[in-house]
Structure 1
Amino acid sequence: MGRLALRPGGVRRLLSALLLLVAPPLAALETVDGVRTLRSADVQQADYPAVQAVHAMGQSLHRQSGGKLAIQVYSAALLGDEATLLQLTRSGELDLNRVSAQALEEVFPLVRVLSLPFLFRDVDHLNRVLDGPIGAELLGAMNGKGLVALAFFEAGGRSICTVSHPVRRPEDLKGLRIRVPPSALASAVFEAWGARPIKLPFSQTGNALTTHLIDAAENNLLAYASAEHHRHAPWLTLTHHTFSPEVLVMSRRSWDALSGAEQAMLRRAAREARPMMRDMWQQREERVEALLRLGGVSFVDIPPAERARFEAALRPLYARFVGSPEQRRLIARIRALR
């Protein structure tokens, strides 16, 4: 039997059809027991803290609205990869989507600042930025292009996992094929370290490690464990090269279909979910690290002298990827925050 060929745009139409099968349009939901169900999707597994946070939002929204609003979450890339889900959200075919800040760089150039390597000193520094005026301004800057930004979610520091040997210095990355998200900045980071970045959807990373299409990957600790990448890449080098957060976005079309009171309920539910998600993340990180160590994963710390070399190799990227005065002012404000 011949292989099914899809024309350009065919994959998106196929996924849209699947979405309509599992979750009909909003208008059709208004008469189902008087409940309007917002559809949310995520590439991560059901136990991932951000997925659990959206479930908690749904419970809060259901309670606030007297049972008239709810959220249905489709996890584990059921409805497509991150790029597809973002496109579906912008077009209004999907209501809510938890997406990495890296995936929003091309849509909102100011957000690229959050993914710059070694900008944040640690996760506490990141949270002080996101919890204050800078975070509020950045959420406001992501209102447009078919989207409304509701909240930032924790994502930890991103580190490097490898199949055949640990990474302790930049030279250890030379020639390694490493999976990166579809971000020009992410690719440039690993090119500067001598690696060969390969852009792949997150859902394909495990198979690529298994088949040796790639030699390494990079992500946060919980994504590494939840997707079971540790089974194929048992060395985890704690570079924490970026603390790029995640963002819960909503389709502008779906947002405009809600009343002012309903919009206020949704924002309140998102605010309530964020500290819960952060606590869950921190507790889960501690448990997961302990379990991974028991399971044979080698956690590799980088000596200060080598970390300085990793950072020095990336300094030219700031001039390359920071082009506007607004971006430069934002970087200065983030660095000045103590």
Structure 2
Amino acid sequence: MKRKAVPIWLAFFTAIILLAGCSESAFHSEEKTTLILAENQPVDYPTTIGAKEFARLVEEKTDGRYEIKVYHGGQLGDEKSAVELTQLGAIDFVRVNTTPLTEFNDQIGVLAMPFLFDDEEEKWNLLTGQVGNDLLDTFAGSKLVGLAFYDSGERSFYNTVRPIKTPEDMKGLKIRVQSSELAIDIVESLGGSATPMDYGEVYSSLQNGVIDGAENNFPSYYTSNHYNIAKYFTTNGFQGAPEVLLASQDLWDTLSEEDRKLFKEAAIESIEVQREAWAELTEVSRETVTEAGSELVEVDDINEWREAVQPVYDKYGDEFSEWIERLSAEK
């Protein structure tokens, strides 16, 4: 299959990585085309499980004409590097979280807004419906093609100091956030002191009191061992930005209309397997941290939290107004 050219240095770099991890003598033949999918999580992580199901379905639906090799564990670089390689056509597919994707597509950032959905059922009805499909289409012009959303759970706050039940309890707490203006604004609207920091520094910073807490989903809270230090976990699910499965525009342009349809179907059908794997890991994580002594603080009234983050909507409302209105209208 003829593919668009990529810079020599990039092609050489990618070839070294691929040849080191694959014993096949060729990636293309008349009978089968082998494609590449970049995944930065471990082999047994839910997003990797979803990516492998997508690969299986593509091979099944195309009667073996296409095979997708999933390179997990960041073998092809970090998320940003993998997205850039996908834009250049050196990688065919990539799975990445919504938050870093805002650098490549401003509109997708609406999904990182706080308390955007009422519950999980509503969220997935919207993401797998017409408005979700239209959001995926906003990648047009970025050399990327949006295929499907994957589950990344709900992000909540946890800390070493006290139970957080209301926004009032956030005041004065130093909370680690991602290096994102939106993430900073959310925490500060709640009265916390936002502290941008690399994820790898969070554990020691919690130990040393550099920060009082952080925010993430249950599996990350568990697998990072943050629960050993920060015992108070507030289940308010303030943010639910999903993962996104993307294809390279270079690859997409080589596919027939029928094959594009089959690839898209495979992506959509893989969501169920990925979400089941996420639900299982979330339940295991929840049980483990509870048994280890974490206090899960249930939030009774989300409305007061929504009211507290209104300044965030005031600031970003114009930028995301079209999508916020559509998401609200289709609830």
Matched, 1:96 2:93: yes
Aligned to 1:310: 305
Match of 1:321 among 311, 316, 321: 316
> Shift of the alpha carbon at 1:244?
1.6
Find the residue that maps to 1:23 and give its secondary structure: helix
Kept in 2, the 8 Å contact 1:105–1:183? The answer is no
Amino acid in structure 1 at the alignment position of 2:144: L
One of 112, 116, 119 as aligned partner of 2:116: 119
CA deviations 1:199-238 (Å, max 9, x no partner) are 4455665565566654322222223334443334332211
TM-score normalised over the length of structure 1: 0.81
Q: Is the 8 A contact 1:16 1:88 kept in 2?
A: no
From 167, 174, 178, the counterpart of 2:175? 178
Kindly indicate whether residue 269 of structure 2 is the aligned counterpart of residue 272 of structure 1. Answer: yes
Q: How big is the shift at 1:123? A: 0.9
Number of residue-to-residue matches in the alignment: 319
In structure 1, the gaps of 5 or more residues are 1-13
CA contact (8 A) 1:48 1:222 kept: no
Output the aligned Cα RMSD: 3.0
Q: Is structure 2 residue 194 aligned with structure 1 residue 197?
A: yes
Worse overlay, 285-294 or 315-324 = 285-294
Note closer, same or farther for the CA distance 1:53–1:180 as it changes in structure 2 (3 Å cut).
same
1:275 Cα deviation after fit: 1.9
Residue 160 (structure 1) shift: 1.3
Percent identity, aligned pairs only, is 30
Residue in structure 1 matched with residue 41 of structure 2 by the alignment? 44
Deviations 1:90-141 (A, max 9, x none): 2333322222222223432322222211121011111111122111211112
In 2, Cα distance between equivalents of 1:171 and 1:215: 15
1:29/1:323 Cα in 2 relative to 1: closer, same or farther (>3 Å)? farther
What residue in structure 2 maps to residue 5 of structure 1?
none
Instruction: Name whichever of 103-112 and 197-206 sits farther off.
Output: 197-206
Distance 1:164 1:29, change over 3 A: farther
The aligned residue for residue 129 of structure 1 is 126
Say if 1:161 and 1:234, in contact at 8 Å, map to a contact too. Answer: yes
Bigger Cα displacement from structure 2, 216-225 vs 161-170? 161-170
| In 2: Cα distance, 1:16 partner to 1:174 partner | 51
Check whether the contact 2:79–2:96 (CA below 8 A) recurs between aligned residues.
yes
Say if 1:157 and 1:72 are closer, same or farther in 2 by CA, change over 3 A: same
Alpha-carbon distance in structure 2 between the residues aligned to 1:46 and 1:209: 28
Specify the code of the residue in structure 1 equivalent to 2:136.
Answer: L
Give secondary structure in 2 for the equivalent of 1:322: helix
Distance across 2 between alignment mates of 1:221 and 1:264: 35
Bigger CA drift: 130-139 or 259-268?
Answer: 259-268
TM-score normalised by structure 2 residue count: 0.83
User: 1 CA distance for matches of 2:135 and 2:67?
Assistant: 27
Change (3 A) 1:218 1:269: same
Residue of structure 1 aligned with 2:216, choices 194, 197, 219: 219
Structure 1 residue aligned with 2:57, among 52, 56, 60?
Answer: 60
Q: Which runs of 5+ in 2 are unaligned?
A: 1-8, 20-24
Q: Give 1:52 deviation, angstroms.
A: 0.3
Cα deviations by residue, 1:225-266 (Å, 9 ceiling, x for unpaired): 344433343322112112222211122123234444443332
